[in-house]
Amino acid sequence: MELAGARQDVAPQARHKVPGKIHYLTGSDPRDWRLNVPGYERIEYPSVYPGVRLAYYGIGQQLEYDFIVEPGSSWNTICLDFEGADNLRVDENGDLLIGVADAELRQHRPRIYQNTGHGRSEIEGRYVLLGNQQVGFELGDYDERLPLVIDPVLVYSTYAGTSRDRGYAIAVDAAGCAYIVGDTWSSAGLTRTSVQSGGNQDVMVMKLNASGTGFVYASYIGGSGSDLGRGIAVDPAGNAYITGTTSSTNFPVTTSALQSALKGQDAFVAKLNASGNGLLYSTLLGGSGADTAAGIAISGSGEAYITGYTASLDFPTTTSAIRRNFAGGFYDTFAAKINNAGSALIYSTYLGGSGNDTGAAIASDAAGNAYITGTTDSADFPWQSTIPRVSGTGTDGFVLKLDPGGRLIYSAPVAGRSADLPSAITVDAAGSAYVGGSTFSLDFPVTSGAYQPSLRADYDAFIAKLNPSGSAFSYVTYLGGSGSDNIRSIAVDPAGNIYAAGWTTSWDFPEKNGMDSFLHGSGDGFLAILNPQTNSLDSTLVGGSNTDDVYGLAIDDSGAVYLT
């Protein structure tokens, strides 16, 4: 959208500075990055037309704009030019609809008003199509002695649903600040300009202050392709370690990177400094096929553990790898450990058999062991546990443990006869692994005294705890209602309480002592806290009138819970 006939030499004026900085680490050349960009509540352009100001501001997650017509000035000079739009129309509600390719921009019927000594006075008005892809306004009577505000209301949508920002993982530091990673189409509501990558999506990393009232920084990382953030961890110094997937040939990598050139669709691993405005390291990781990172964990000395899945026959492996060659199927799981400079692999290996194997999540313990969960349909998956595998549909969950050098300690099935889909893992101080996900199996290996001993729908969420040797389950339960339920993230506190978060469509999800017990829309997120010793559950639904999901969960030392 442009303003036809408007002045082009008007300098913007920033109003009401807000805390936090925005950083654009986009593209391979740091000279093109834009760092420490301040944020403001409102930007105004004075005199875009004679006596008319243009103001941009945010309400919620919406970018709004107003025209303010000064007393004695004319409003009918305002002309919106939508060059490039496929079509323009005004619907029966008075909304302006702008069609572009497969997307549609809706501007609700304009709110037009004046502020008087007795409050706000609404003025009648509507959009008018002027031809040549231009739109103006038509107004009723108003007091020309007072300023007049014309406020179009923006609503973005596509045929597939709204473009949106999404957080996929969350971590928390000792001060209670939360770190979120995900990806964005919108750069947090800012308009796309030349300082951004121009790609489909960028990685978004956001640090929130301890009170949750504002952000410390928001950093956007990416290149000219699609860049997706999927995992995050934070060290005691406040550095954020992130992983995800990129198709950008100009993804920002550092000079000492383990891999600097994109080979296909590659995983990436990056360490963002405590201010969010610099990369301590950034590297690609992958082969000539599609490589997808799913999760990250870190050691006390800053080494990064990554898992995901790869279709590359030439994924980089080390000489000590459990498996150096691709085993078969469409994908193999991979596990990699990178040194604290991001410049070398400590170990990297394929994991799997001749079928499809996908790593979904990873955790690490204080001794440097890595714990990985995911799915496999390989008949020859390298099981190494006394837990029996039940033959069924072929899609099983797995949990495996690697020592600090990448050697296999155990590999255990988490499965029944139907499809079992783990998606989250954590580990306690004793070395017991906790896994969450969803299962279709009626014979999932629940333990005696489980909170929920049976499947209540086509599929339910599950929680499973393995003993430190991976030789037996300490606790396994279903969790869900009569709809669909899935755990996406899991954590455990020092007392052994299990925190699980995810998504449900169950109106009868087992809610207790929660802030919301009613399902809204077609699905809600949920948080459940389970004590396996007492078999007690506290839980709540999380959501509004639309579909809501919880992807990430973290807890701090005080027991406070953080969700994204």
pLDDT digits (tens, 9 = 90+) for 9-62: 999 999 999 899 999 999 999 999 999 999 899 999 999 999 999 999 887 667
Supply 252's token pair. 């920002």
> Could you tell me the pTM of the whole model?
0.86
| Least confident interval from 212-226, 382-396, 413-427 | 382-396
- Residue 48 has what pLDDT? 96
Buried b (16+ CB within 10 A) or exposed e, 276-308: bbbbbbbbbbbbebbbbbbbbbbbeebbbbbbb
pLDDT digits (tens, 9 = 90+) for 149-187: 999 876 544 332 334 578 999 999 999 999 999 998 755
- Map out the domains of the chain as residue ranges: 2-158, 166-563
Distance, in Å, from the CA atom of 490 to the CA atom of 563, rounded to the nearest integer, reads 11
Q: Are 316 and 350 in contact (CB under 8 A)?
A: no
Task: Name 395's Cβ contacts closer than 8 Å, sequence gap at least 6.
Answer: 375, 376, 377, 419, 420, 421
Q: Are 446 and 477 in contact (CB under 8 A)?
A: yes
Distance, in Å, from the CA atom of 177 to the CA atom of 174, rounded to the nearest integer, reads 7
Counts for the chain of helices (H) and strands (E), in that order:
0, 39
- Residue 524 has what pLDDT? 86
Supply 247's token pair. 């198709």
- Residue 457 has what pLDDT? 93
Q: What is the DSSP string of 505-526?
A: --TT---BS-S--S--TT-EEE
CATH class of the domain at 166-563 = mainly beta
Amino acid at 475: Y
Mean pLDDT of 414-430: 97
Distance, in Å, from the CA atom of 310 to the CA atom of 331, rounded to the nearest integer, reads 5
Q: Are 112 and 120 in contact (CB under 8 A)?
A: no
Q: Are 54 and 48 in contact (CB under 8 A)?
A: yes
- Residue 544 has what pLDDT? 67
- Cα pseudo-dihedral 229, 233, 238, 244, rounded to 10: -20
Mean pLDDT of 97-110: 81
Distance, in Å, from the CA atom of 220 to the CA atom of 232, rounded to the nearest integer, reads 14
